[in-house]
Amino acid sequence: MTATTKTAHEPETKRTFEVPKHPEWPILTEDEKEALKDRIKRLLKKENAVLVAHYYTDGDLQDLAEETGGCVADSLEMARFGSVQNAPTLVVAGVRFMGETAKILSPEKRILMPDLNATCSLDEGCPPDQFSAFCDAHPDRTVVVYANTSAAVKARADWMVTSSIALPIVTHLKDKGEKILWAPDKHLGHYIQSVTGADMLMWEGSCVVHEEFKSVALERVRKLHPDAAVLVHPESPAAVIDQADVVGSTTALIKAVTHMANKEFIVATDEGIFHKMNLLAPDKVLIEAPTAGHGATCESCGHCPWMAMNALQTLAATLETGANEVHIDPAIRERAVIPIQRMLDFAKRQAKLSKAS
């Protein structure tokens, strides 16, 4: 039997949220920046707190996390790392679902974020009540949700996945003969379906950053840089993915830059990732994939406006005031932890099998 891809055409596919403008932070001198970073380091120590930052956040935040014993990672590793820390306070520099995931896995910890308004278009585009009704309409399907969803949506799921582990989990479910209801990223869902052949019913969400990468403009950039490898995050449209030499999570794309022999790379994901890539491979040339056509004011403007809400200033304010603490309804947390833990257990088994081989 040939697997099929089905698409949800429900009212929930319409955007019901506004995408914010990028915040404009005051430009700090190097002395001011270092003084602020020193203050944050003292506050982290005073609060016995660990800082966890996503690859898409500001480079100064990434550096601070690593300098103070925290970590910089993708969503999967952020979830793993935070859950095994002994510190009573975890500060999550990223977007809201990342802070919620940390709280779900570590309910006894105080979880702080630089800005609780830092959300995600995928999260906002998948309202829990509408998603629950969608699931109820398809009770024969295993519900698999992407990490970029609210705690309430995760509470309705059987599995949670990140982009780094979605393919093996969906392959595992397909091999068991399960039909899947997937949410919320349609581009990632269609990519997974094309690779695995799984029967997947799709929610129609998308990332406002990755959806803006343009295939025709990318073809033009490739002609200008014929020896460059094209690295694409699977939240991008299919026409962009089709031009990729490597498709993968943020961690996979970073690994490609450090391991591949190419000197140039065209990168189709949030520009925040360039900080880590430049640190690990300073001799490589990184080119932003275009998000607009030739001649536009900004041909490559791929940065999440919500990730941009994370700044040294907001981090310091949060640590000083204790504001922006993440709270989750205990009943929702009790259900949401199940699909997340299922993913973490699966990842642990995969790691053991990989070591054994």
Domains and CATH numbers, the chain: 5-16+122-207+334-356 (3.40.50.10800), 30-119+307-328 (3.40.50.10800), 210-288 (3.40.50.10800)
The 10s digit of each residue's pLDDT in 42-64 is: 999 999 999 999 999 999 999 99
Say which residues have a Cβ less than 8 Å from residue 221's Cβ, sequence separation at least 6: 266, 287, 289, 290
Distance CA 316, CA 34 (A): 13
Cα 130 to Cα 128: distance, rounded to the nearest angstrom: 6
Looking at this protein, which amino acid is placed at residue 173? L
Residues in the chain where the model's pLDDT stays below 50: 1-13, 293-300
Q: Which two tokens stand for residue 349?
A: 């088994």
For residue 249, what is the DSSP state? Answer: -
Q: Count Cβ atoms below 10 Å from residue 334 Cβ, excluding itself.
A: 13
Cβ 50 vs Cβ 69: under 8 Å: yes
181 close to 141: Cβ distance less than 8 angstroms = yes
Note the pLDDT of residue 73.
Answer: 95
Q: What is the pLDDT of residue 293?
A: 45
Question: In whole angstroms, what is the distance from residue 233 CA to residue 250 CA?
Answer: 7
